[in-house]
Amino acid sequence: MNRQQAIELVRTTFESPFERERYLRFLRELLNGFDNEGARVNQGARIPEKFQEYVEKMERVGKYATEGKEVMLFIVYLKRETSIERARTMQRNFVAWYLQRDMKDAALVAFVSPNRDDWRFSLVKMEYRFDEQGKAREEFTPARRWSFLVGANEKSHTAQSKFVPIIADDETQPTLAQLEEAFNIEKVTKEFFEKYRDLFVRTKEALDKAVAANPAARSDFEAKGVDTVNLAKKLLGQIIFLYYLQKKGWFGVPRDAAWGAGSKNFLRELFEKKHGDYKNFFNDILEPLFYEALRIDRSHDDHYYSRFNCKIPFLNGGLFDPMNNYDWVHTDILLPDSLFSNKNKTKEGDTGDGILDVFDRYNFTVKEDEPFEKEVAIDPELLGKAYEKFNAIRPDNYEAYLKALKSGKKGEESKFNKQYGVYYTPREIVHYMCQQSLINYLYSELNPNAGFDTDEKNARPTQPAELPTKEDIETLILRGEQIMEHDAQVMEAGRETETYSFQMPESIRRHAARIDRALAEIKVCDPAVGSGAFPVGMMSEIVKARNALTNYLGAKGTKESARNIYRFKRDCIENSLYGVDIDAGAVEIAKLRLWLSLVVDEDDIRNIKPLPNLDYKVVQGNSLVGLPEGILLDLDIKAKLEEQKKRYFYLTNSSEKNKTRDEINVLFSQLVESARQFDPTLGNINFDFHTHFSEVFHEESGFDVVIGNPPYIQIKGIPAQERRFYEQRYEFATGRFNIFYLFIEKTRSIARKKGITSYIIPDRILLNTQCDLLRKWLLNDNQILEIVSFDEQVFETAVVDSIILSFENSQRKLDYVSAKTKASPLNLIEKQSINIPYVYINLSPSAQFDLNFNQDKYRIIQKLMSKSVSLETIAESKDGIIQGKVEDKLFITKKIDKDSKPLLFGENVEKYKISFGNYWVNYKPKELMALEIKRRGEGVRPGLWMRDPAIFERPKILTRQTADEIIAAFDDNNYYHANTLHGTAIFDNNYHPYYVLGVLNSKVITWFYRSNTDEEGKTFAQIKIELLRRLPIPKIDSPLQKPIIKLVERILAAKGKNPQADTSELEREIDQLVYALYGLTEEEIRIVEGK
């Protein structure tokens, strides 16, 4: 089949109602044939009882074998129209039941709704877990599903790009891995983002032209602080929001028709003038739609909007308020219609590159992907990813962004994003952190007086037998959705039978009401909310858990309407979720995602209240700058402010909302002024946890869960005035601190007693000596619940290794820290934990969290430490010169005057050998610092560190900084060195430099170093100076050092004569001597040498 035929086959199959013969032809062409032996139809009693409510019949049309794996081919006919979207877990579990029964690997499935218009094409893949005998475990074998949204109301652009190459290849049968790749959503998201980015640039520039052409618009924008960068972001956000919602059939509903009967292509119909004529699409159609139809409550007239002669729902919530209340009625903004749709040919051969043209080609789903359920469509998480990229762009740096973009170099755009951007946490990590936080919260709530079992073999908290165990709660949170259909059958039968017995633990069933209440009352805050990934993730887990409990609450047949997904989400948004971010754009996106998730699960808009005003639930502000704790406040003002906040939440009238918001802001300003009477040094404060979220501290004395991805800002990126404020306010703002330290400390005042904190943060907290006090506080004043490190970098543009740190605000009860090391984001649940003894952590001088713990290593390290002194007690180790912004003037290739000093970089040092590369440092500290300040700007912390010349002009051991092993050489020529080298000068005369050099280059020291880091094998591995300083040097008298000194002298002499000399035999002799000094056994030497 040629490419054009393949395109037509995909288009007709996926853009039409389901038709069996056409679908089978598609499968035959996709797979180059399949085995239809054993084809049959299961229906009625042949459908498992727990699925009969949803499934009409299942047709097995064949099977496909590839590389020893079997892929079943099914058509599943559903009983209800809503099941195609709602019962996603049921669909996955239904197919998984058949696959697991026969131990099949995967299935390609068409899930078909009763009217055939909407259907899904899915790949369901099993992930069997095997016991020690190689048998698959019965319990909860997980299945993953990927789905294309297809049918009469969908486009097949994405499906064409995925399946056409496979279909056009008549020679090769696709493997299961190739089929799985065809369902990969990441490439679709990346492609869409690139289109979205281009649309943003064109929209911004079109707005510039439109505003420049209209003096009235220009004057209004200037007076109200409206800029075209953020207006372009908001406009695209508004349009994409409507693309999600139009799929529900809520727009363009005829006057007397039911909600849901509207067009699912309403925006395209507006452009095509099917709902009214216009001269300019944005000015005459979109602005009235946004700022009138969607913003003004017309419920008295069943939401009828005469301009378009149809019903349009009132959404409220603030998304459709004009930016800064610009005068859209009297100000014409004439964007060209071609910005929205045109006939231009794209590089891919598609027609049209306008906003509607691009959006029309993609499938949109309001369902955010979950670990086991992914749709090959654009979901709201994309808004978060777009925010990550677009947050970097501001009015003052737009031209720099455009320059980076037009350069065509990906590195330039990444560099720009890194400088200004926000790092978006991958959804798998968000899910894991939310689930574990909820498990820990529920365990704490249900077992307030639990003791702790300190037996390291069990390593589990203990509690009275009748209360849920940690494992029971894990079953609810991790598997409740899978269990609920099964247990519903037991409840319906009224008793357990041989076929159906409860899979939910008895303790969960017995305490279901108490657990449900705890879930309903939880208070969660993300103090750096970004685009809302964590609040949305927490809501998803809370809602799934409450829904799974419904079976055990007697809710069926009584007040069932009160227990539905929409109600759970509404309760959660109204009562449980809070967020703060310094960036206004982030706050808008976070609110948008919460609103989207709220409306997705209700078809009849009459059952949906207007969207709540979230301005005082998700707030713009600086989480680290608030009113000082304990300061006296005017209680009358505070009471008025609290009352106005409650009132504002449900207001729908736009003028009332504006008036009340202004009153709240005035009251907060008055409150700050009242505080300033007692502390005149208070700066500009626009947010305070205890004021803006006062209800949390009245009811709970703080948040139950604090969760998020706080910003990682090094001290050089913090303005001087702000830095001084932090140093005065925060205990851990000392030395070269990072902003994320302060977000950890902030939990002291915002998390309640026994509250849970879960952050994803840089791994520098594990070992960096700067974090000494912070680590000791975490270890001694809190209960660390878990630390997780990763096997790869989590963030695309952040060159930083990350960890998850979870802890409880309570005194330490356990004598170990639980950790998962080198975990993949995809297997966080399955990854086994290790327990690191508290005494092992305290072996280090600054309580480092060494995650590479095992018993053999513990034993050897204890032996090394007991016979040694740390390097820092006999020597001074210093970093080299950091070039800041003046590298071109600082590092030179020839000597120019007496201030030119010979310079070494890391590449100039190998074991026992230094090669001078003819580089020099222009050592003029005052002159170069002045240039550094000029280039960086006044008030910005300089990045240039010249160091004291005394640390260079002395005999020293040089060690490479970029390496995963210790590479050391001796310098007696007073070389200066860059920060790619560390310099160590021995000050204790009892230790000869050659003796220390031999020890540092030995295998056991490299083993010790690697045992305390995750650096081994990394492309850009780093020797951290704080670990260098704690390396153990055998403590022996000077005469006993002579054998090693003599061997080092022989090596240096050999290298001096011939830099390429092979000294490996002499180095092996040193290794053996060092092993003996530490007293290592043969078995321990084999461990050190990796044998």
Does residue 368 register a pLDDT over 90?
Answer: no
Q: Average pLDDT, stretch 789-796? A: 82
Does residue 557 register a pLDDT over 60?
Answer: no
The region of weakest confidence among 418-432, 583-597, 696-710, 837-851 is 418-432
Q: Average pLDDT, stretch 294-302? A: 86
Q: Which two tokens stand for residue 196?
A: 């979205």
Q: List pLDDT tens digits, range 145-179.
A: 999 989 998 888 899 999 999 999 988 899 999 99
Residue indicated by tokens 């501290």:
697
Structural domains for the chain: 3-183 (no CATH), 188-420 (no CATH), 427-626+687-841 (3.40.50.150), 855-1088 (3.90.220.10)
Does residue 309 register a pLDDT over 60?
Answer: yes
Does residue 374 register a pLDDT over 90?
Answer: no
The answer to whether the beta carbons of residues 897 and 923 sit under 8 Å apart is no
- Which segments of 40-157 are extended strands (E)? 40-43, 55-66, 69-78, 106-112, 118-126, 143-151
Does residue 1054 register a pLDDT over 90?
Answer: yes
The answer to whether the beta carbons of residues 50 and 565 sit under 8 Å apart is no
Q: Average pLDDT, stretch 966-972? A: 96
- Predicted confidence at residue 555, as pLDDT, reads 54
| Band (83; pLDDT cuts 50, 70, 90) | low
Does residue 583 register a pLDDT over 90?
Answer: no
Please choose, from the candidates 130, 57, 134, the residue with its C-alpha nearest in 3D space to the C-alpha of residue 98. Answer: 57
Q: List pLDDT tens digits, range 19-37.
A: 999 999 999 999 999 988 8
Report the percentage of the chain scoring pLDDT > 90.
53
Higher pLDDT, 620 or 380: 620
**954 exposure class (CB count in 10 Å sphere: 0-12, 13-18, 19+):** middle
Does residue 458 register a pLDDT over 70?
Answer: no
Higher pLDDT, 840 or 653: 840
Q: Please report, for residues 114, 282, 297, 307, 460, the alpha-carbon distance to residue 291 in angstroms, rounded to integers and kept in the order given.
A: 38, 12, 11, 13, 56
| Band (72; pLDDT cuts 50, 70, 90) | very high
- Predicted confidence at residue 281, as pLDDT, reads 97
State which of 588-592, 823-827, 912-916, 1009-1013 shows the largest mean pLDDT.
Answer: 912-916
Residue indicated by tokens 């009763």:
114
Report the percentage of the chain scoring pLDDT > 70.
91
Q: Average pLDDT, stretch 977-985? A: 96
The region of weakest confidence among 65-69, 386-390, 436-440 is 386-390
Q: List pLDDT tens digits, range 726-748.
A: 998 999 998 889 999 999 999 99
Does residue 382 register a pLDDT over 80?
Answer: no
- Predicted confidence at residue 558, as pLDDT, reads 42
Please choose, from the candidates 504, 650, 503, the residue with its C-alpha nearest in 3D space to the C-alpha of residue 573. Answer: 650
- Predicted confidence at residue 139, as pLDDT, reads 47
Does residue 453 register a pLDDT over 50?
Answer: no
State which of 50-59, 169-178, 281-290, 394-403 shows the largest mean pLDDT.
Answer: 281-290
Q: How many CA atoms lie within 13 Å of 947's alpha carbon, on the beta-carbon side? A: 21
Q: List pLDDT tens digits, range 698-727.
A: 877 899 999 999 988 888 778 888 888 899
- Predicted confidence at residue 560, as pLDDT, reads 46
Q: List pLDDT tens digits, range 179-219.
A: 999 998 877 888 888 899 899 999 999 999 999 999 999 99
Q: Report the alpha-carbon distance of residue 581 to residue 588 in Å, rounded.
A: 10
The answer to whether the beta carbons of residues 809 and 757 sit under 8 Å apart is yes
Q: Which two tokens stand for residue 540?
A: 């998803």
Q: Average pLDDT, stretch 396-419? A: 73
| Band (1011; pLDDT cuts 50, 70, 90) | confident
Q: Report the alpha-carbon distance of residue 707 to residue 807 in Å, rounded.
A: 11
> Within its chain, how far is the Cα of 45 from the centroid?
45
Q: Please report, for residues 506, 733, 953, the alpha-carbon distance to residue 432 in angstroms, rounded to integers and kept in the order given.
A: 25, 30, 52
- What kind and span of H or E run contains 160? helix 157-168
Name residue 464's amino acid.
P
Q: Report the alpha-carbon distance of residue 401 to residue 392 in Å, rounded.
A: 8
- Predicted confidence at residue 861, as pLDDT, reads 87
| Band (770; pLDDT cuts 50, 70, 90) | confident
For the chain, what is the mean pLDDT? 87
- Predicted confidence at residue 1048, as pLDDT, reads 97
Point out which residues pair with 106 in neighbouring strands: 71, 125
- Predicted confidence at residue 102, as pLDDT, reads 83
Q: List pLDDT tens digits, range 240-289.
A: 889 888 888 889 999 988 888 899 899 999 999 999 999 999 999 999 99
The answer to whether the beta carbons of residues 740 and 762 sit under 8 Å apart is yes
Instruction: Output DSSP code: residue 813.
Output: -
| Band (101; pLDDT cuts 50, 70, 90) | confident
**743 exposure class (CB count in 10 Å sphere: 0-12, 13-18, 19+):** buried
- Predicted confidence at residue 348, as pLDDT, reads 83
- Predicted confidence at residue 234, as pLDDT, reads 87
Q: Average pLDDT, stretch 317-345? A: 90
- Predicted confidence at residue 872, as pLDDT, reads 93
- Predicted confidence at residue 717, as pLDDT, reads 79
pTM for this structure? 0.78
- Predicted confidence at residue 799, as pLDDT, reads 64
Does residue 901 register a pLDDT over 90?
Answer: yes
For residue 359, give every residue at least 6 positions away whose Cβ sits within 8 Å of its Cβ, in sequence order, or none: 239, 240, 243, 267
